[in-house]
Structure 1
Amino acid sequence: MKYLWRLNFTFNPVYLRYLLLIIVTLFTLGTADAQTLKGIVTDAATGKPLAPVVVINVRTQQSVYTEDNGTFSLPAKNGDQIAFTFIGYKTLQWKMPPAVGVIDESFKLEVTSYLLKEYTVRTKNYTQYQIDSLTRRSTYTRALAREKGGSVTSPFTLLAEQFSKKSKDIYRFQKNYGYWEDQRFIDSRYTPELVNALTNLTGDTLAYFMNAYPVPYDYARTASELEFKMWIRTNFKEWMRKQQDSTQRKQMMPTVKQ
């Protein structure tokens, strides 16, 4: 009878249902944190895909870049803060919702206009660029503070870190971060609004001129406001002269009769 009771207990449908319920519950709890954030990043005004936008999980400091079509995929968990940063755009912070599996979202970044804000938004005499820079550095403190071999305790740990994808991503992010900050500073001074006010250029012509005459970072840092404006005017005169010469050459070219 004792063995028969055990046999009945083992195959009792009621107990089997409870057992299956426990297994499913444990599986759900084990996979609740296993999430992947997939999405697309676009310009809030035009809807065009943006690349290469840096998408970073603030908790893990793991980062990826958006593809040419604006899409990305990043591992994350419930409650993780995800930051989106791109030159010339406001940094976007987004919190992972409670879910299981893959989350598909679309994100829109807004263009930053430093010229207008620099004279209207000030905190302790900081420019808007400085405020944004401090915010970005606070967001990426862990990634920027990490040093190669700084916490290595053995040769094996050092070897593992050198081949770790996460470590490589962080060090690549550190290397690019300085370049991005330099570009943001240049963008804070060399703005379409300023160039338009000095040259009356607009639209594609304005963009073409600014691309043809990029401002060196060292000059953007050291030039006074007057020197900076003179630099734009001087290059604009040179650009206009080249445009006129090009037009004259086209007019002098013989036409081919059909």
Structure 2
Amino acid sequence: MKPLLSIWIMLLCGIAGRSFAQTKTSTDTVVKPPVQLKTVHIVQYNFFKDSLAFREEYAKSLTFRRLKWYEVYGGLSVNINNLYRVTQFKKNKKKITFKHMLLNKEQEMFVSRVYTPSLVNKVTHLDGDSLQLFMQHYQPDYAFIKNASDYDLYLAIKKEYEAFMKTRDSIPVQP
């Protein structure tokens, strides 16, 4: 009886499939209206506004200064709150480390604003993976970028590009 049931199911499926295929005509296709996408506003990156916002956001951490031992005394008395702050060695060390980390981040943002792939491409005509590899291994430091003129920066990139071309095959690729 099971084989008979499976035969009936196959026949019914075949008939239903044929009837569905026959009823579909070209008039059934309906043209849907185009999808309307939301508009995107592109804002030009402004380092100075971002730097000011960064400074405002982390103002308390960037202005942190560990109290000195002599600041605990106020005339003939001892300020207990200042004494407590001075003796929090681990907390003070973490705050100072965080302050240095924020300053380094700001310097990295400044360097990345000046030392861009379009600038390096304009000077060296590199593109793709070789451009990324060059920029990873030959990135100038903050002090140089801050004090260098455009001409000095171009010369430094050209000089580093010549060294890169000599040792390009021996540089390991980092993911």
User: Smaller-chain TM-score range?
Assistant: 0.5 to 0.7
Structure 2 residue identity aligned to 1:183:
E
Structure 1 residue identity aligned to 2:85:
L
More helix as a share of residues? 2
Does residue 158 in structure 1 map to residue 85 in structure 2?
yes
Describe the shift of the 1:242–1:163 C-alpha distance in structure 2 as closer, same or farther (beyond 3 A). Answer: closer
Please name the residue that 1:18 is paired with: none
Of 125, 135, 141, which aligns to 1:216?
141
Task: Map Cα deviations across residues 189-231 of structure 1 (whole Å, 9 max, x no partner).
Answer: 1111211222222222111111221202221111111221122
Describe the shift of the 1:189–1:160 C-alpha distance in structure 2 as closer, same or farther (beyond 3 A). Answer: same
Please name the residue that 1:46 is paired with: none
Please name the residue that 2:64 is paired with: 146
Gaps of 5+ in 1: 1-115, 122-127, 247-258
Q: How many residues are paired up?
A: 119
Does residue 131 in structure 1 map to residue 60 in structure 2?
no
CA distance in structure 2 between the aligned counterparts of 1:159 and 1:134, rounded to whole angstroms = 30
Of 92, 112, 129, which aligns to 1:187?
112
How far the C-alpha of 1:141 sits from its partner, in A, is 1.0
How far the C-alpha of 1:174 sits from its partner, in A, is 0.6
SS of alignment partner, residue 139 of structure 2: coil
Describe the shift of the 1:161–1:242 C-alpha distance in structure 2 as closer, same or farther (beyond 3 A). Answer: closer
How far the C-alpha of 1:156 sits from its partner, in A, is 5.0
- Map 1:16-35; keep pairs closer than 5 Å: none
Asked whether the equivalents of residues 67 and 86 of structure 2 are also in contact (C-alpha less than 8 Å), the reply is no
CA distance in structure 1 between the aligned counterparts of 2:106 and 2:88, rounded to whole angstroms = 27
CA distance in structure 2 between the aligned counterparts of 1:239 and 1:163, rounded to whole angstroms = 44
SS of alignment partner, residue 146 of structure 1: coil
CA distance in structure 2 between the aligned counterparts of 1:203 and 1:223, rounded to whole angstroms = 27
CA distance in structure 2 between the aligned counterparts of 1:156 and 1:191, rounded to whole angstroms = 48
Please name the residue that 1:44 is paired with: none
SS of alignment partner, residue 109 of structure 2: helix
How far the C-alpha of 1:160 sits from its partner, in A, is 4.9
How far the C-alpha of 1:180 sits from its partner, in A, is 1.4
Structure 1 residue identity aligned to 2:130:
T
More strand as a share of residues? 1
SS of alignment partner, residue 66 of structure 2: coil
Gaps of 5+ in 2: 1-42, 73-78, 171-175
Describe the shift of the 1:197–1:146 C-alpha distance in structure 2 as closer, same or farther (beyond 3 A). Answer: same
Structure 2 residue identity aligned to 1:190:
Y
- Map 1:1-258; keep pairs closer than 5 Å: 117=44, 128-149=46-67, 153-154=79-80, 156-158=83-85, 160-164=87-91, 167-243=92-168
Describe the shift of the 1:134–1:159 C-alpha distance in structure 2 as closer, same or farther (beyond 3 A). Answer: closer
Describe the shift of the 1:218–1:157 C-alpha distance in structure 2 as closer, same or farther (beyond 3 A). Answer: same
CA distance in structure 2 between the aligned counterparts of 1:203 and 1:173, rounded to whole angstroms = 35
CA distance in structure 1 between the aligned counterparts of 2:119 and 2:151, rounded to whole angstroms = 12
CA distance in structure 2 between the aligned counterparts of 1:141 and 1:243, rounded to whole angstroms = 43
SS of alignment partner, residue 202 of structure 1: coil
How far the C-alpha of 1:240 sits from its partner, in A, is 1.7
Q: TM-score, normalised by structure 2?
A: 0.57
Counting aligned pairs with the same residue, the percent is: 26
The higher radius of gyration belongs to: 2
Describe the shift of the 1:189–1:159 C-alpha distance in structure 2 as closer, same or farther (beyond 3 A). Answer: closer
RMSD, aligned CA: 2.7
CA distance in structure 1 between the aligned counterparts of 2:167 and 2:57, rounded to whole angstroms = 45
